[in-house]
Chain A
């Protein structure tokens, strides 16, 4: 329903991988919110409604003939009819605020009720409010009073519901904070700049849902980030190519339509063999598509979306917090191998939040930038490190290494212009081998569940939470012969990929597109038995959908 915004959170005492499928508790502030979201509530779930807002006008707007809080339509649910608006106003009446402003605090009233239901103390929320509204004492007071009013209302009316006590979570030791995918990606770049001793240049153009990376780094002048908001997507990536030539860790961020505009310059980065990170926060396409909805449909574009033979590294993050690690790794791989890298995130990861264990000093892998450390006379622009085939990354200011690069084909080693037929074929093969060679340096692909057997479930990128939860639940329910592997490195694939895939009778590839990764795998491993499960609705997978798909495949 238009005009209804919502927010979903999952809490628990075990590791959480998703915001959850269907919800146990639904808070609705008006009839429209109920109508739009009732479908996401589990049968028998709890509804906390602001009964004050279920008036004739709002009911009519939401197309209700009778008040659902008063008829029998919600008999399958626990319904708490709370006078949220009136009690919030009553609680705040001495603060001298306008009615409208007081009403805005009713979300805190609802949070108070929720905390009572889940037997949670209010202390942490009050600490949070003090930090957030410390400079606005009236707002702090308003939020705090509303929160307490909600909690006290629940206490005094002895709300009886499915009271749930959540034990402390069992997570690895460390210091944690909450982080969303876009901030995590921005911080990964900052960490890579620091660990490589390079300055960070980010050259981008605003686009939903990627802009927050640009915003965060614009605010990180305190960390030395050099940020350029270009006049268009093409200028952004071209400036990033320039910054890479200047010797900075260089990145550009975008979403699908912007990635389309950047393709020519990505080809320039491929032939010039410059380190460059492109983060594509995917959204549903083609064209403007569904700008705020999630989809994994830019994989073909990342892999093949350039003219000519133009291989580059393609990676994908799989949770809001690991956007940090994979953006760090994208920068590391780009610099160490003098190559452009595309990191795929998506709308779901960008706005999702998860707890992130802050890496301890020395925990992140080192970054070693390929500089030529012998006299300049022994160097040529396309001289390569023999093991990795890397070009050396020499930059303006490096005396004696003055050289020209560009979009025209270059002679092997010397970098001179040449149209020589054999050379073009050779350089094409070298560029391919250089990317393929990175596979040996990637972490080994892991499997959970069975190492061989009937069915391997395969995912990539942001679907990890839903697929992982589905597979774990099936294994706990006694499922056998099921394995699961999730890819973060797409091109090249980790070296042990074929061995893993080849150990199963069937491989079910689950992805939020029409089958791009499964077709990529089919082309790479034509002898294997691939099945696919796809969802193209601009929505993430539900765990239940994945479970059903796995069971269907096993029983086909």
Chain B
């Protein structure tokens, strides 16, 4: 049995992953950028088309399965991760991608999300976070910021929102990345790293909904503000940010602290160096929680650590049991134990 995702050298291009279905998102929706980057990344994976399976739930995000020309299941609300777990466990050789949204994944699908994170099947979860329910027309989601007026919170949301990365790392996720929907190069790169990561990879995309939360991420992703407000993390590189890379992050007591470099090198200023493979989760958990205005928002691959993959362990246990047993067929099983003959 082929139990690893195949790394064959299929020569494919972006076009090979464009399906014949017309795309029906609102003009200007951030989803278009995710679709384009997924098609580009898929072509780069060198993985044969028939071994891709895309699984989605319900919501604007989840329409994407129809637009990617591979195998796909557009399932039911909140359950994409459960369906995908069954797909992957049944055939571990498949390259499985889950597409979901902040409502689909963090509200109705929240239970499946935390369990997927702890189980660590080798699959990839792309969460389109626009901080609102778009398809059902503007209700609060678990990531809606406090104070935002929505159809279900006409006076402004009073709920405490989830931080997706915090939940993921708390639940044991072995890979977490965050990308803005308008940084094509970073998104494609993060998708490739997620593909190569053995285990469940969670990618939060800060996605703009032009209808209900237009500009919700603007402070982070806007052309004028992104340099000051994003901390682009790279493994082995110092945690510096700002238009001229003049700020850095350090540890002060139990907390992270944003400091100006004041002309010093990051090293001499005591700026932290990003270790994406740090098995301990304290620093990664601290990084995902950074928020404006005190801190920049962390982007890129925040956590990528090795851990046993559930589907590998299951299939290895089956192979061990198969190699030890005397049962060659069900008939041998049926005749084991106490039997008697009549006639």
Chain A residues within 8 Å of B, Cβ to Cβ: 128, 131, 169, 171-178, 187, 190-191, 194, 199, 201, 203, 220-228, 230-232, 234-236, 238-248, 250, 264-265, 268, 272, 358-359, 361, 395-408, 416-417
Contacts and interface: CB of A to CB of B under 8 A. Distances in A.
A231 B117 CA distance: 12
Contacts of B111: 231-232, 235
A361 B76 CA distance: 41
A171 B340 CA distance: 12
A131 B83 contact: no
A495 to B, nearest CB: 31
A358 B334 contact: yes
18 contacts: A172-B343, A175-B339, A178-B338, A199-B90, A221-B318, A222-B322, A226-B314, A234-B82, A238-B75, A243-B90, A245-B83, A246-B87, A395-B91, A396-B51, A397-B91, A402-B50, A404-B65, A405-B73
Nearest to A241: B83
A194 B338 contact: no
B29 interface: no
Interface in B54-70: 54-56, 58, 65-66, 69-70
A272 B71 CA distance: 13
A469 B90 CA distance: 44
Interface in B10-46: 19, 21
B66 A222 contact: no
A172 B66 contact: no
Given A246-B94, A401-B50, A174 B342 contact: yes
A244 to B, nearest CB: 8
A191 B338 CA distance: 19
A282 B74 CA distance: 31
Contacts of A244: 86
A191 B330 contact: yes
B341 A174 contact: yes
Given A177-B340, A243-B89, A404-B74, 7 more contacts: A178-B338, A226-B318, A238-B82, A250-B86, A265-B76, A399-B49, A405-B73
Interface of A is mostly: mixed
B82 A404 contact: no
Interface of B: 19, 21, 48-56, 58, 65-66, 69-76, 79, 82-91, 93-94, 111-112, 115, 314-315, 317-318, 320-322, 324-325, 327, 329-331, 333-335, 337-343
A272 B72 CA distance: 12
A221 B335 CA distance: 17
B70 A242 contact: no
Interface centre among B49, B314, B333 (most CB of A within 10 A): B333
Contact of B333 (A178, A223, A359, A397): A223
Contact of A224 (B50, B56, B79, B322): B322
B91 A246 contact: yes
Contact of A408 (B74, B82, B330, B335): B74
A199 B89 CA distance: 11
Given A222-B325, A403-B71, A238 B94 contact: no
A244 B333 CA distance: 25
A176 B342 contact: yes
Contacts of B51: 396-397
Nearest to A189: B330
A397 B327 CA distance: 29
A190 B94 contact: no
A406 B50 contact: no
A201 B85 CA distance: 11
Contacts of A395: 71, 91
Interface centre among B52, B84, B342 (most CB of A within 10 A): B342
A345 to B, nearest CB: 19
A272 B73 CA distance: 9
Contacts of B335: 175, 177, 358
A239 B121 CA distance: 13
B65 A128 contact: no
A226 B82 contact: no
Contact of B86 (A171, A190, A201): A201
Given A221-B321, A265-B76, A243 B86 contact: yes
B48 to A, nearest CB: 7
B49 A402 contact: yes
A246 B93 CA distance: 11
B7 to A, nearest CB: 16
Contacts of B76: 238, 264-265, 268, 407
A401 B70 CA distance: 9
B87 A187 contact: no
Contacts of B87: 242-243, 245-246, 396
Contacts of A228: 85-86, 89, 314
Contacts of A171: 342
